[in-house]
Amino acid sequence: MRSTTCRVTLLTLAACATGGPARPPDYAPVLAAPDRLEADRAIDGGRHPAETLAFAGVRPGMRVADLAAGGGYTTEILARAVAPGGVVFSQNNALLTKLAGDAWTARLARPALADVVRVEREFEDPLPPEATHLDLVVIYASYHDLVAMKVDRGRMDRAVFTALKPGGAFVVVDHSARPGSGVEDSPTLHRIDEELVKSEVQAAGFRLAAEGSFLRNPDDARDWSTSPRAAGERRGTSDRFALRFLRP
């Protein structure tokens, strides 16, 4: 059978995520939970969490990892979406742990994150031995940061491949750089060339299964820094790609 890649709109998210015409869970209660932080709600509009969860195919009971968790925004929505019965491995390396300060620790102490496992490991070997047979691994808007941190990205991608079960998904969301620019803009503009990411991840053995359009912005000139501090009012408006890879 010829392999195909889904180009995903909001109406086709579930079908591409599962390989069939499944209806995604209702993520509205996850995002409307009264104990969510107001700071998280304030950036929901730019992050599109419901569409992200649907694109990733998140379901209750899943075993999931969130790489480069930072302060834990994505970790929390994943934890809420895999409940009951699921687990989330929330990973930062030593540098990101330092940069997150108390925010990550405080986040993981929240009752809604009781089933989250804190992981502090370097990216070349990002997950502990017990993080096996995973359903999903996510890295949101941080693949480009691996460049400045001089991470062996091929080694990391292969480690993710090993941690996933057959049919498991690796979802990469990041800020788009200019086509053909490779990693040139990663340290300065916090962007990365989408085609480079596709090439690197597929070289680790993955198959590209879906591309999401829900974070696209054709008006983005891709010439400004997406770092939250530098972006200011433009935060959440960059053109971003969403790629869903599967372990065969």
Residue 171 has pLDDT above 70, yes or no: yes
Q: Per the omega criterion (within 30 degrees of 0), is the bond before 84 cis?
A: yes
Q: Is residue 206 part of a domain?
A: yes
Average pLDDT of the chain is 92
Q: Is residue 174 part of a domain?
A: no
Q: Is residue 192 part of a domain?
A: yes
Residue 17 has pLDDT above 80, yes or no: no
- Give Cα 191 to chain centroid, integer Å: 15
Give the pLDDT of residue 5: 58
Q: Tens digits of per-residue pLDDT, 123-160?
A: 999 999 999 999 999 999 999 999 999 999 999 999 99
Give the pLDDT of residue 109: 96
Give the pLDDT of residue 238: 97
Residue 246 has pLDDT above 90, yes or no: yes
- Using the structure block, give the residue that is written with the tokens 């935060």: 235
Give the pLDDT of residue 19: 46
Give the pLDDT of residue 229: 84
The residue type at 171: V
pTM above 0.75, yes or no: yes
Please, what is the Cα angle at 152 between 146 and 16, to 5 degrees? 65
Residue 245 has pLDDT above 50, yes or no: yes
Q: What percent of the chain has pLDDT over 90?
A: 88
Q: Is residue 223 part of a domain?
A: no
Q: Tens digits of per-residue pLDDT, 191-240?
A: 999 999 999 999 999 999 999 999 999 999 999 999 988 888 899 999 99
Q: Is residue 230 part of a domain?
A: no
**In which band, very low, low, confident or very high, does the pLDDT at 6 lie, cut at 50, 70 and 90?**
low
CATH number for the domain including 196? Answer: 3.40.50.150
How many beta carbons lie within 10 A of that of residue 145, not counting itself? 22
Q: Is residue 17 part of a domain?
A: yes
DSSP H or E run through 169? strand 164-175
Per the structure, the complete domain to which residue 99 belongs is given by 6-168+182-214
Dist CA 99 CA 107 (whole Å):
14
**In which band, very low, low, confident or very high, does the pLDDT at 108 lie, cut at 50, 70 and 90?**
very high
Q: Tens digits of per-residue pLDDT, 60-99?
A: 999 999 999 999 999 999 999 999 999 999 999 999 999 9
Q: Is residue 175 part of a domain?
A: no
Dist CA 44 CA 115 (whole Å):
23
Q: Which two tokens stand for residue 158?
A: 């292969």
Dist CA 184 CA 189 (whole Å):
9
- Candidates 216, 206, 221, 211; CA nearest to 243 is 211
Residue 106 has pLDDT above 70, yes or no: yes
Give the pLDDT of residue 196: 98
For the chain, how many structural domains are there in total? 1
Q: Is residue 247 part of a domain?
A: no
Residue 21 has pLDDT above 80, yes or no: no
